[in-house]
Chains A and B, each alone.
Chain A
Amino acid sequence: MNNARPGSERELQRLIMDAARAEMPVEVIGSGTKRSVGRPVNSGLAISTASLSGVTLYEPTELVMGARAGTPLVDIEQRLADKGQMLAFEPIDLGPVLGAPANSGTIGAVFATNFSGSRRVIAGGARDHLLGIEAITGAGQTFRGGGRVMKNVTGYDLCRAVCGSWGTLAVMTGVTFKVLPRPERTGTLVLLGLDDRSGVEALCAALGTPFEVSGAVHLQAPFAARLRHAGLAATQNAITAVRIENFASSLRYRLDRLKDALRAFGEIHELDDANALAFWSELRQLSPLQGSTAPLWRLSTAPRSGPAVVAAITRYMECRAWYDWSGGLVWVEVLDTADAGAADIRRVIAHHGGHATLIRAAPAVRASIDVFQPLEPDLAAITRGIKAVFDPKDILNRGRLLADL
């Protein structure tokens, strides 16, 4: 396959126009760390936005930053950290989970995949922080959606449409997004050895308090054992953890009140600032999911349904689970089988509500099943219609999302 790494938006536009004219499918990538997610794409050309790099706008007091799509995420986060700010939705790093290098993703891909980390429960997801895009359709038409201001309801919300579309609607060349101050202090409460049900119950109870819990995870023991944090990995137990971030003046008060609220669930341990930061940083890096090639699913469901979903899956196959978003996001590793458990997992999720995405599996598996959740016929028809509006010749990441898309 040929690779192209256009150095300008104009050059990128020309490539897409040529491909559209020739009706030649192209693979759209940033730095390519998440290439193996989705159904394998058949294309003669991979176009990378990695050379479209650089921060184009940063107004810390307006809480807004703009960057070209290929800007490395690490550069963005460094610029923000210099001013005491951050991407509040805490983008995760899928790279190492998929065998790609760590810390090498682009900001464009963060929004193209719409994957968010633990802070999503309070701060919203990537899609909630995206303010504007500049992009090129599959027909080679440049367009803008949104802008650089926080509130904007002028016309349809094209940002949201393109965010999470995995490069199948348009190639983003620039993004503008909301940023927020970094918290002054981080504290974390930990409970050990809870079963899934009690763990998630504790997480939901924590999020039902007024103390602005900003992370709520439960790791089954096998995942906890894979943590790099020696102390936590050595507990040999499931770990249930709740994070509070705030000004130093508030943190003690909030942690104590939260302890009161969670006392019924068992003995509560506390991580200090440094340990808490190390723990949550590991989760952002998805370290418990690294070092394995077992099929990995990402399930999205109502938080309280998480344990029931996992319990049902366990009836069909051996699996291990890590709950984030107080139970609403579940990473599930299963044994390697021909369909990676897809038929059973999809049946379970259909019963409980939500959706399942196969994040890691061999190409042959990914080519033979629906990697992303299949859609109801009416929604599939709308989805195909939207795809045809943006990409009439179906050249962008053809087949990556769904077989007939």
Chain B
Amino acid sequence: MSMNVLPPPDRAIVARRDSIARDLARLVASGGVIADEDGRRAFETDGLTAYRCMPLAVVLPRTTEEVSRVLKYAHDNSITVIPRGAGTSLCGGALPAEDAIVVGVSRMNRVLDIDLENRTARVETGITNLGISGAVQPHGFFYAPDPSSQLACTLAGNIAMNSGGAHCLKYGVTTNNVLGVKMVLVDGRVVEIGGAHLDASGYDLLGLIVGSEGQFGIVTEATVRILRAAEAARPMLLGFESSEIAGRCVSAIIASGIIPVAIEFMDKPAIHVCEAFAKAGYPLDAEALLIVEVEGSEEEISTLLARIVDIAKPFRPMAMRVSQSPEESAAIWRGRKSAFGALGRISDYFCMDGTIPLGRLPEVLTRIGEICAGHGLKVANIFHAGDGNLHPLILFNANDPEQVHRAEEAGADILKLCVEVGGCLTGEHGVGVEKRDLMTSQFTSGELALQMRIKTVFDPQWLLNPHKVFPLENREIEHQAWEH
């Protein structure tokens, strides 16, 4: 671990591991508790592998009642709980602590109900994101948020982080697509919030829970909106001489009144990495690439893409290619969606997740280049151009602690830059431990205190995922102020 992100564990709890594991085993069906060292090691980290910590124990419940019993037990014994979905968090959201029980929902993955007329699906939250779409696809429906990790990541994690994806320009992120949840509170009580109806009664607690990074409770079931899929969708590629021109082209498309279902941007290093992996036919000489996708009937798609071609022409694209077949479309998206994996084959990297106003893109990319060069590092950029969500991928060698440190510094500088130009630290990955200490660059101490008091409403003892989101020192100050 490159820095100390966790406070010292409670040694008394760690010393009681065996008896705690025995207690937990009585609360869940056989095989639901993992206490041996090899078993626990599989849970020591998540998608942010730079941070690792062996948990006290791991519980993988199969029912809401089991989750409830485990949380009640942890609450009664003042033991910290780390909720976990598939462990794909890129911000250390599921990083365990030595004195904490990991409660993973991955075994709760059933589809409970599909209601096509009401256009909802009720599922257990351990289901994968793609699993929901898979269940409703035979009926021509889909679940809209599509994070790149959708094959593996769970709905529980999506709800915790309010995950987005490439297609949220048109369809919104998780919070726009979840209608109701069943949630286990920290003391084991089970509450139902929302349902199959479209708006909240009273405060929008659901809106608060989505994106609360597992700090308010463990969501075990959810009712999500499912949408009838468009008749067809087709992407096109546009390559440009510079990022600035690509950005202007995006603005021109949106100004025309067309809202493509996705507008993805890659810079040259990203193009090369993805092309080497996916053989999608990306233009290797372009400085910037746009993938623009539209939906509708075949004829509507042709009309819309022809309009986009007309809009793009004045920007002198170096490459312009409309996908001609489903295979080609799949290859184009495979390149984009495998970007993180493809890059991982050639280097270690940190994936940043700031959001910026589109108009500041050229300036931000220039400064990101300067920041990384200043730290002696390379960077590739991937950008959800339609919604301003920027993913700079900072390359480094994990075996060189000094490089890791420089990469972290560069990452912090980049995120501060995003805030400085009017954006934010994280668009879809969450704060976790990774960006916890940068929160003070976006929020005042008063704003952080307000948020922390909301956590205290749900979790007075701060037992749920407590080391995440807020700088540890602010948390101590707030604790004292609030208690007196």
Contact = CB atoms under 8 A, between A and B. Distances in A.
B269 interface: no
Given A152-B427, A154-B426, A154-B439, A143 B203 contact: no
Given A157-B211, A163-B207, A372 B201 contact: yes
B203 A165 contact: yes
B255 A153 contact: no
A160 B204 contact: yes
B173 A151 contact: yes
A137 interface: yes
A328 B197 contact: yes
Interface string A373-394: 1011011001101101110000
B168 A373 contact: no
Given A389-B457, A402-B202, 16 more contacts: A124-B172, A128-B172, A144-B443, A148-B357, A153-B211, A155-B439, A204-B118, A208-B119, A250-B296, A250-B303, A253-B297, A328-B118, A353-B196, A353-B197, A354-B195, A373-B202
Interface in B284-300: 296-297, 299-300
A210 B257 CA distance: 20
A302 interface: yes
Interface in A122-146: 124-125, 127-128, 137, 141-144
A124 B204 contact: no
Interface string B95-127: 000000000000000000001111110000000
A286 interface: no
A300 to B, nearest CB: 4
Contacts of A193: none
A373 to B, nearest CB: 4
Contacts of A144: 443, 447
B148 interface: no
Which 7 A-B residue pairings sit nearest by Cβ, starting from the closest? A160-B207, A385-B457, A355-B201, A302-B196, A151-B427, A150-B387, A61-B251
A190 B222 CA distance: 35
Contact of B384 (A59, A151, A209, A382): A151
B355 interface: yes
A401 B257 contact: no
Nearest to A249: B303
B217 to A, nearest CB: 10
Interface string B165-208: 00011001101100000000100010111011111111111111
Contacts, number: 250
Contacts of A128: 172, 175-176
13 contacts: A61-B358, A62-B254, A125-B199, A149-B389, A149-B424, A151-B428, A153-B162, A155-B442, A158-B451, A164-B203, A210-B140, A304-B117, A373-B201
Contacts of A209: 228
Contacts of A372: 201-202
B109 to A, nearest CB: 24
B58 interface: no
A153 B118 contact: no
B231 A210 contact: yes
Contact of A149 (B200, B254, B257, B422): B422
B429 A143 contact: no
Contact of B203 (A141, A325, A383): A383
Contacts of B357: 59, 62, 64, 148-149
A357 B255 CA distance: 39
B387 A151 contact: yes
Contacts of B255: 60-61
B207 A61 contact: no
A147 interface: yes
B345 to A, nearest CB: 27
Contact of A208 (B117, B199, B205, B389): B117
Contacts of A300: 197-199, 201
B446 A141 contact: yes
Given A125-B198, A151-B388, A208-B228, A304 B168 contact: no
A172 interface: no
Contacts of A180: 259
Q: How large is the interface on A (under 10, 10 to 19, 20 to 34, 35 or more residues)?
A: 35 or more
B46 to A, nearest CB: 16
Contact of A161 (B191, B208, B389, B458): B208
B134 to A, nearest CB: 19
B210 interface: yes
A77 to B, nearest CB: 17
B422 to A, nearest CB: 6
Contacts of B457: 382, 385-386, 388-389
B344 interface: no
A61 B450 CA distance: 33
Contacts of A273: none
Interface string B433-466: 0010001001110111011011111100000000
A73 B140 CA distance: 38
Contact of A155 (B116, B191, B451): B451
A87 to B, nearest CB: 15
Contacts of B235: none
Given A151-B173, A353-B197, A157 B162 contact: yes
Contacts of B197: 300-302, 328, 353-355
A357 B425 CA distance: 38
Contacts of A385: 457-458
Given A61-B358, A161-B203, A204-B118, A149 B388 contact: yes
A128 B168 CA distance: 12
Nearest to A208: B228
Contacts of A316: none
A304 B447 CA distance: 42
B230 interface: yes
A386 B427 contact: no
Given A253-B300, A329-B198, A382-B458, A302 B208 contact: no
Interface in B418-432: 422-431
B356 interface: yes
Given A155-B451, A208-B228, A147 B424 contact: yes
Nearest to A151: B427
Nearest to B303: A249
A114 B228 contact: no
A127 B296 contact: no
Interface in A158-174: 158-161, 163-165, 169
Contacts of B427: 149, 151-153
Contact of A401 (B173, B196, B202, B451): B202
A84 interface: yes
Nearest to A390: B450
Contacts of B203: 161, 164-165, 169, 383, 386
